[in-house]
Amino acid sequence: MSYDQSNIFARILRGDLPCKKIAEDQHTLAFEDINPQAPVHILVIPKGSYVDWSDFTCNASVVEQSAFVKMIGHVAGLAGITESGYRVISNSGNDGHQEVPHLHMHILGGGAIGPMVSRC
């Protein structure tokens, strides 16, 4: 799947659309999800143009991958959910129900968020 430069997260990265920023570094941006599914619902995205987890792990540099993983733990700490716990999810492709075709991790917490997923 080729990268669509008009997707919502690409527009946020270009500054065309606003977001409620939580944290940022050279390679990664974290911001609040517009439609929160838990008391804490943060999205972490790479600044590079990667469609999904497979694209990112195949094509991003080690520095980008490292920054992305570190940012997840960092924003969990900023949100105060390190001790209480949280879930990290990345939806990928049709079966994964990915809506925005720019890699993102959902960080969900701030309360008990229930069992993993329903069976298909």
> Nearest approach, Cβ of 64 to ligand DGP (angstroms)?
20
Structure tokens at 53: 């987890």
The verdict on whether 102 is a catalytic residue reads no
> Nearest approach, Cβ of 10 to ligand DGP (angstroms)?
11
Binding mask 30-69 for ligand DGP (x = CB under 6 A): -xxxxx----------------------------------
Q: Which of 19, 22, 38, 107 binds ligand DGP (CB under 6 A)?
A: 19
> Nearest approach, Cβ of 21 to ligand DGP (angstroms)?
10
28's CB contacts (< 8 A; 6+ apart) are 44, 45, 46, 47, 64, 67, 68, 71
54's CB contacts (< 8 A; 6+ apart) are 92
Give the span between the Cα atoms of 111 and 60, in whole angstroms.
Answer: 33
Give the span between the Cα atoms of 43 and 108, in whole angstroms.
Answer: 9
Of 41, 74, 104, 106, catalytic: 104
Q: Mind telling me the catalytic residues?
A: 104
